[in-house]
Amino acid sequence: MKIFRRPDTPLPVGVAERREERLGKRPSVRLETSDRDLSPLAAALLAYWQSSRRDGGVPDRGAFDPLHLTRWLGYLSVYEYEPDRDDFRNRLEGTYVGNLTGENWTGRRASEVDARFGSSFLADLRQVRDRREPTAHLIKVFQKDFSVTERVLLPVSTRPGGDADQVFVAIFSNGVRPAQKA
């Protein structure tokens, strides 16, 4: 059995600094979805998502047993696609996500996040839905200019064999703090 570090503890010496350097002044940097680039908790969630796929398709919600998701529940938000608006609405905000950002975005849309923070969150969600593949990013927490997190976007379907109409958004703090502004 693998033992995973808590996601809010610092990464091994040098990793946090390399991630901060890689992010620089950009709002986000895409990570490769490999164990090498992801924290242990993020890699384990991605592996669970991969194991839930059938025939290379998008896993359906029924494949995600809440008992197996327990270690990630507070870190997950669920965004549901609204085709009439070509947008995603936050249906569920993890408690850790709310604590990290200081805000609860339940019921709000991804386009509202972009409008408030000048981000590309909606485009990222659309890309994950269209490609039917997960992505991972290092992102600055928009509400706190001193915190960097790891974000994993996982497409899922509310119907077996259906299109990706939801995206699970996992946010993990990894102890990275951007350099102070000069």
Tell me the torsion sign for CA atoms 49, 164, 88, 158: negative
The per-residue pLDDT for range 19-31, each reduced to its tens digit, is 555 545 544 555 5
Question: What confidence tens digit (pLDDT) does each residue in 60-83 have?
Answer: 988 888 888 889 999 999 999 999
Q: What pLDDT band is residue 146 in, cutting at 50, 70 and 90?
A: low
Which pTM value belongs to this model? 0.78
Could you give all domains of the chain from N- to C-terminal order, each with its CATH number? 28-174 (3.30.450.20)
Cα–Cα distances in Å, from 79 out to 109, 148, 155, 164?
Answer: 8, 21, 10, 11
pLDDT over 70 at 142, yes or no: no
